[in-house]
Amino acid sequence: MATTTQFASGTQQISLPFQGESDIIGSYLLAGDNEVAIIDPGPGSTIEALFASIREAGFEPQQVTHLLATHVHLDHAGGVGSLVRAMPHAKVYVHSKGAPHLLDTSKVVASATRIYGDRMQTFWGEIESTPQERLRVIEDGDILKVAGRRLEVHYTPGHAIHHVVFFDVHSGELFAGDTAGVRLQGVDYVRPPTPPPDIDLEAWNQSIDKIKKMRPDILYLGHFGPTSNAQYHLEQLRKKLTTWGNTVLESMRRGNDEEGVLAQLIANTEYELARSSSDPNVVKRYEIATNYAMTVQGYMRYWQKKHPERL
Ligand SMILES: [Zn+2]
């Protein structure tokens, strides 16, 4: 089964199989000037699949020179420490606020183990630290000349405090990570991915404004694939971020605990997703991409931390 898709710009999309489903986790491969860059190479559990896709795209894993992380969440960059061992020329690019978590993965491993327990290895594989000499710290406004492209780095906090997007002004392509939300292919439904601990709705709204002003022709989502109507897509995300956040807030104000808030959010929203696609698996597939439990935990923490006066 083909896992790579090449677009007219030369960008290749890689679909990494996750929890038995394809087209949930997306990586993007850029090649040119004897360089190969992978944006969001994914978790440690899908490294063999990533290698197969790199070969399918016409390259060897050893030829990879750049691993660009939009952010350090495990589904985007959990595998980079292991990857640099297999890719002798590869450097890892990450925002300064995310760099400590790649240099030393012990905190990430500890918090993920609390959530995933004995499913850690199956979900995420190895989570190895990246040696300092293989890491390059990036900041807002940096220009990366990579694989024949000129990629602008834009800092876009909201989903994660260290999140960046990469924008190729020339081709109009914007690699959005999770800042543009989750929307699986063939479904007109944008879902807000709001895991703890960094969710910040004010910052996220500003990041949405920032991306809209860039007027990208294509957004490449981490979950999953390209979307060409960026302005519409981003407004859908903004609406959902707000309404879901308000549902959580109101439920908390009524005195519900996490379980109660979760039940309320599912009751208020799951039917919309179910009816937005004829695929009977659509709810399950979105749940794999970004699950309700973490969504609720992220929002609850946001309200408690940033707006205790509203509770
Ligand atoms: Zn994420």
Query: Measured in angstroms, how far is the CA atom of residue 131 from the centroid of ligand 1?
Result: 22
Per-residue pLDDT, 1: 56
| pLDDT for the residue numbered 115 | 84
d(C-alpha 209, C-alpha 212), whole Å: 5
Span from the CA of 196 to the centroid of ligand 1 (angstroms): 10
Ligand 1 center from residue 40 Cα (angstroms): 10
Mean pLDDT for the stretch of residues 59-80: 98
Largest CA distance in the chain: 59
Question: Could you tell me the CA-to-CA distances from 241 to 172, 192, 269, 276 in Å, in that order?
Answer: 25, 6, 12, 18
Q: How far is the CA of 159 from the centre of ligand 1 (A)?
A: 7
Question: What is the per-residue pLDDT for 37?
Answer: 98
How do residues 296-311 score in pLDDT, each as one tens digit?
A: 999 999 999 999 999 9
Supply the pLDDT for residue 2: 62
Global pTM value:
0.97
Ligand 1 geometric centre to CA of 252 (Å) = 24
The predicted pLDDT at position 281 comes to 96
Ligand 1 centre to CA of 70 (Å) is 9
Centre of ligand 1 to C-alpha 283, Å, is 19
How far, in Å, is the centroid of ligand 1 from the Cα of 182?
Answer: 10
154-187 pLDDT tens trace: 999 999 999 999 999 999 999 999 999 999 999 9
What span, in angstroms and rounded, lies between the C-alpha atoms of 126 and 309?
41
For the chain, the average pLDDT equals 96
Cα–ligand 1 centroid distance for 33 (angstroms): 30
How would residue 114 be classed by pLDDT, with cut points 50, 70 and 90?
confident
222 alpha carbon – ligand 1 mean position (Å): 8
Structure tokens that stand for 7 in this block = 């677009």
